[in-house]
Amino acid sequence: MPPVNEMDIQLLRTFQRLSSVGYSLLRIYEELGDGHSLEEIVVQITADRFRLAEGCAKVAQNLLESGIVSEATYRSIISRNYYAIYQAARAIVFHVTRNDVDDHRRLSDHVGKILGPQWGKVVDRWRKARNEMDYSPYPEFDEPPLEGLPLDEVVALSFAEAEGFLDEVRKHLSKRGVK
C-alpha cells in the first residue's frame, strides 16, 4: 500500500470501527477510487493492529528484562501479555469477519471459531488473569493451568502463551496474505 496521508489515516480509523454491514457499504468507496482497494485497507488495518500486539509483547519483555522484581512489575507484565493476545485476536477476527470486535468477553468466542476452541480459551484465560492483576488487591486464579501457581510462574506462562498465540495468528494472517 502506498504511503498514507492524513485523509487515509482518518479513513483507516473510521473503517476499523465499522460493522460488517458498514464494510459492505464501503465497497462504494472502492469504486470511486483513490488508489486503495478495500482489501488493501483491510490488510493495512490488520497489519497495524498486529504490530500493536507485537509492541505490547515487547513491552512485557522489556519489563521482565528491567531487573525490577516486584509484584507490580509482574502484574504489568501479565497485563501487557494479555493486551498482546487481545490485539492479535482483534487483528485475526477483523481480517476474517471484517468486523472489529473489541468486546473482551466476546472476542474469545470469535477466536475459537476461527483458530479453534483451544485458542479461544487462551484469550479468555488471560482476560481473566489481566482482570485479577489490574483490579484485585488479592489476585487468585481458580482455573487450570493457573490455579495454585505462584506469580512468577504465572508470568512465565503468560509469556509462553502470548508467544504461542501471536505465532498462531501470524501464521494464519500470513496464509491470508497479511505480512
Query: Where residue 126 sits, what CATH number does that domain have?
Result: 1.20.120.330
- pLDDT-derived band at 6 (thresholds 50, 70, 90) equals confident
Residue 2 lies in a domain: no
Do residues 86 and 161 lie in contact, with contact meaning Cβ atoms separated by under 8 Å? no
pLDDT, residue 21, reads 46
- Indicate whether 159 pLDDT > 80: yes
d(CA 75, CA 111): 25
- Indicate whether 32 pLDDT > 60: no
Residue 13 lies in a domain: no
Residue 99 lies in a domain: yes
- Indicate whether 34 pLDDT > 80: no
Residue 20 lies in a domain: no
- Indicate whether 76 pLDDT > 90: yes
Residue 86 lies in a domain: yes
pLDDT, residue 171, reads 97
Residue 166 lies in a domain: yes
Q: The whole model's pTM is what?
A: 0.84
Tell me the residue range of the domain where 80 lies. 51-175
Helix (H, G, I), strand (E, B), or coil: what is residue 4? coil
Residue 96 lies in a domain: yes
- pLDDT-derived band at 119 (thresholds 50, 70, 90) equals very high
Task: Tell me how many domains the chain contains.
Answer: 1
Residue 142 lies in a domain: yes
Buried residues in 86-117 as b, exposed as e (16+ CB within 10 A): bbbbbbbbbbbebebbeebeebbbbbbebbee
